[in-house]
Structure 1
Amino acid sequence: MSTTEQRVRELGSRWAEAEQRGDSDALGALSTDDFTLVGPLGFVLTKQQWLDRYRTGALVTHSLVWDEIEVRDYGDAAVAIGCHTQRAEYQGHSADGSFRATHVAVRRGADWLLAGVHLSPLGGPPPFTPPQASTDGEPR
């Protein structure tokens, strides 16, 4: 594992832990000033809006797992794609879900910071996707 991959994975772990704690100060320190979150329904949050979810108590994260991570290194930037599974509540309503997540990380000196997160609900292939053949040649 490259140093960049290791550092970006560590950043993701620190992010997940801070989300679980609702620690807006830690999340602020882990992200760039122009951080942007694209939520699973397409909404966009600025860094301030993202942090305010915890500051106001609107979002409570009971658990968050960030796994199945693949990191691509682009020098002073990296993209991590993985799975984000959460048990959470937003304004008292369930916000549980499993998402494919893309994290964009940038190097700032010796540190790596999150510049963006994009979440998409996990689902099956679209109905127009041709069926895959099984090993015996029959469609699945």
Structure 2
Amino acid sequence: MNTQDQVRELCRRWAEAEQLEDVVALDEMSTPDFEVVGPAGFVLDKPAWLDRFRTGALHIRSVTWQDEIGVRDYGTAALAIGRYVQDGEYQGNPANGRFRSTHFAILRDGGWLLAGLHLSTSVGP
């Protein structure tokens, strides 16, 4: 499997783990210094990102990572840009959306890990 396919598969598994609220899998698929920039501009480090699932504050009914998934290979780093569609709730409030997503992956010990994720609100078709 080439880098593009490996990174697409990592991102697909990440979305699946989020939908399952699988903190162990999300932890294993990300670097210790993993950070997320959310659609409203907030920044969460790895513990804060995972705690949303651990505490039950975030509940995901469905999440897909789809269409227009482009992966750029830089050897030991890769950038994947796609579309992220989420149906869920955060602290009892709707947390639904269509986002443009950028996943930053690095090659470590023969496998790909996510080092960062950036979500921005997707407007238009």
- TM-score, length-scaled by structure 2: 0.96
Unaligned runs of 5+ in 1: 125-140
Tell me by how many angstroms 1:74 deviates.
0.3
Q: Percent same amino acid among aligned pairs?
A: 58
Higher strand share: 2
| Correspondence 1:64-83 to 2 at 5 A | 64-68=63-67, 69-83=69-83
User: d(CA) in 2 for partners of 1:13 and 1:54?
Assistant: 18
Structure showing greater Rg: 1
| Aligned positions of 1:22-101 closer than 5 A | 22-68=21-67, 69-101=69-101
Give the CA deviation at 1:110.
1.3
Distance in 2 of aligned mates of 1:23 and 1:65: 15
**Structure 1 residue 123: Cα displacement:** 1.1
Amino acid in the other structure paired with 2:70: E
Structure-1 separation of matches of 2:116 and 2:5? 18
> 1: CA distance between counterparts of 2:110 and 2:66?
24
AA of the residue aligned to 2:107: R
> How many residues are aligned here?
123
Structure 2 stretches of 5 or more lacking a match? none
Q: Which has the higher contact order (CA 8 A, sep 6+)?
A: 2
Name the SS of the counterpart of 1:42 in structure 2: coil
Question: C-alpha separation between the residues in 1 aligned to 2:46 and 2:110?
Answer: 22
Counterpart in the other structure of 2:20:
21
Residue 10 of structure 1 corresponds to 9
**For the residues of structure 2 that align with 1:88 and 1:111, how far apart are their CA atoms?**
30
Q: 2:57 and 2:89 mapped to 1: Cα distance?
A: 8
Question: How far does residue 96 in structure 1 lie from its aligned partner after superposition?
Answer: 0.2
